[in-house]
Amino acid sequence: MATTTLRAASDGLSNPVDLIQPIVAALDRIIVGKTRELRLCLACLLARGHLLIEDLPGVGKTTLAHALAKVLDLSYQRIQFTSDLLPADVIGVSIYGRDTGRFEFHKGPIFSQLVLADEINRATPKAQSALLEAMEERQVTVDGNTFSLPAPFFVVATRNPSHQIGTFPLPESQLDRFLMQITLGYPGPAEERQLLTSGDRRDLVDQLEAVLSVDALLKLQNTLMNIHVSAALLDYIQALVAYTRESGQFSAGLSPRAAIALVRASQAWAMMNGHGGVHPEDVQAVLPSVVGHRLEPEQGSDLQSARTIGASILEAVPVA
């Protein structure tokens, strides 16, 4: 089955929905009952963004990243962020080679197609920014030499809720670099029972097979740019962005970078749903994840979670 899918992907003509559906199905077996979050995660990857997962420990963040790497056949590295992590631990270090008589750069864990940055807010800002700069530039410069990061390059960062002890909060400017933030949350009772009865997650992940080639994934990422965005839809997106700036509900509105992110994420969602162009519903589906971590509710506002922030915006702006 895996081979047919791979062949279908390589000819570049097949429907993106047909390519994406098996990925979701495969992941769905590992992370039970979180189809929507999994689709958002894929949308983020297809839009060439990076994903931030804010959640409590133990709800499957690591498993998700690992499973994603397996299903998409991506090279995978995990970096556990701790308070003593150094930038070199992330990007690599130049070491003097006795044999060659030269300094040689030893690539760090960031040189992977899928990087899991675990508990990113436990590291110091210096280490955080090493990762975040690499995310933005998609290259690393050490001692004057520039090294490109592999393609695709997808960072899944997790953070603990910021009220937990021993965390360095991420500044807004760095949060802006994540295309989306999602929350997995606790599973429902039925799903939890399934988790408890089925086998070990790690084994299940190891048994996973790739259902999409790297080439096919890159091609999908390119196709995404061709998803039509109509003028009416841009009106809608601009109205949404303008609302965040003018309503007085937020201490600062969405940046133009966030507006672009919203367009890309909506395109990804439209592509995953087989739409020829972006529909308002596509925007509405991704908006809470795209804006939730970028907006700070004004003091005294009753907006708390990313979900209520998104819902309040969608409730206030008419569809164009």
Partner 1 sequence: MSTAANRQDATGRLLWTAGVVAGASLPHWPTLPLWAPVLLCMCIAWRLAGDFANWPLPNTTVRIGLALIALVAVLGEYHTLNGVEAGSALLVVMVALKFLETRTSRDQLVLMIISYFLIFAGLLGQRSLVIVLYLLGFVWFTTIGLLQLGRRGPLLGTWVTAKLAGRLLLHALPIMLVLFVLFPRLPGPLWALPSVNTSGRSGLSDTMSPGDLTNLALSDEVAFRVEFHDRPPGPSQLYWRGPVLSNFNGRTWSSDGVQLRGRIADTLEYSGDPINYRVMLEPNGRRWILALDMPAKWPDGEGILMESHYQLIRFPRSIRSRVNYELTSYPAYHAGETLTNAQRDVYLALPDGSNPRSRELAQQWRQVDQDPAEIIRSALNLFRAETFYYTLTPPALGAHPADEFLFQTREGFCEHYASAFTVLMRAAGIPARVVTGYQGGELNGLGQYYIIYQSNAHAWTEVWLEGEGWVRVDPTAAVAPERIEFGLSGGSLAGQRVAGGAFRNFVWLRNMALAWDAANTYWNDWVLSYGPELQRNILRALGIARPHWTKLISLTVILLILLLGTLMAYLAWTYRTNRPEDPATRYFGSFCRKLGRANVAPRRPTEGPVDFGRRAIEALPDASVKIEDITEAYVGIRYEPGSGADELERLKLLVRSFKPSPAT
Binding track, positions 200-229, relative to partner 1; x by CB under 8 A: ----------------------------x-
Among 135, 233, 263, 287, binds partner 1 (CB under 8 A): 233
* Of 270, 220, 288, 283, nearest in space to 37 by CA: 288
Could you say whether residue 320 binds partner 1 (CB under 8 A)?
Answer: yes
- Alpha carbon distances (Å) from 24 to 72, 147, 272: 11, 33, 10
Of 131 and 287, CB closest to partner 1: 287
Determine the size of the site formed for partner 1 (CB under 8 A). 30
The Cα 250–Cα 269 span in angstroms is 26
Of 57 and 274, CB closest to partner 1: 274
Binding track, positions 116-135, relative to partner 1; x by CB under 8 A: --------------------
Could you say whether residue 279 binds partner 1 (CB under 8 A)?
Answer: yes
Q: Which residues of 216-243 are buried (b: 16+ CB within 10 A; e: fewer)?
A: bbebbbeebeebebeeebeebbeebbeb
Contact 70, 207 (CB under 8 A): no
Of 84 and 235, CB closest to partner 1: 235
Quick count: other Cβ atoms within 10 Å of Cβ 114?
Answer: 22
Could you say whether residue 302 binds partner 1 (CB under 8 A)?
Answer: yes
Quick count: other Cβ atoms within 10 Å of Cβ 84?
Answer: 10
At residue 320, what is the residue type? Answer: A
Contact 178, 293 (CB under 8 A): yes
Binding track, positions 136-155, relative to partner 1; x by CB under 8 A: --------------------
Contact 179, 47 (CB under 8 A): yes
Instruction: Name the minimum Å distance from CB 43 to partner 1.
Output: 17
Could you say whether residue 317 binds partner 1 (CB under 8 A)?
Answer: yes
Q: What is the DSSP letter of 236?
A: H
Cis peptide upstream of residue 152 (ω within 30 degrees of 0): yes
Could you say whether residue 11 binds partner 1 (CB under 8 A)?
Answer: no
Could you say whether residue 274 binds partner 1 (CB under 8 A)?
Answer: no
Region from 87-95, 135-143, 195-203, 273-281 binding partner 1, contact rule CB under 8 A: 273-281
Residues at the interface with partner 1 (CB under 8 A): 228, 230, 232-233, 235, 246-249, 275-281, 284, 298, 302-303, 308, 311-312, 314-320
